[in-house]
Amino acid sequence: MKQIDELIRGELAAVISIDSIIDKVKAEERRHLESIRKDHVSAVDKLKMFAHSDFVEEAESPGPWGAFTSAVKKGASIFGDRIALEALKLGEEHGINEYREVIRDDATNPELRRVIESELIPNQEKHLALINQFLH
């Protein structure tokens, strides 16, 4: 269950990170970030279905991910949206790696594995592609 807790924390951190910079980016980027944010909120809801209730309550805050979201916010304030987008890119890459690690674990619930492979990883990859477009 610790895996699911960490996945939920990562998704919550993504939501908080996007919230912290969404007003600092261009209008076109903002629309896409709002869509990415919705995907992360949806991922939290899906992951909660696989967590025990005590883990869900513990995972309501980003925990150690709070430092990451704080860095994104500070980066956006000081250096502008490009640095914040670079940080979001790193977060998306990290999320993909975390999901891949979970599906490689033989103890992972088969239904959770299916959701990760068919929905969550493809969404993260889509987010990464969009963020890369913004950065080029």
How does pLDDT run along the chain (136 residues), one tens digit per residue? 678 989 999 999 899 889 988 887 888 889 999 999 999 999 999 999 998 755 444 445 555 445 555 555 555 554 456 777 888 898 899 999 999 999 999 999 999 999 999 999 999 999 999 999 988 8
Give the pLDDT confidence score for residue 29 in this predicted structure.
86
57's CB contacts (< 8 A; 6+ apart) are none
Is-contact 25 80, C-beta < 8 A? no
Give the pLDDT confidence score for residue 134 in this predicted structure.
87
Integer Cα distance of 71 and 77 in angstroms? 10
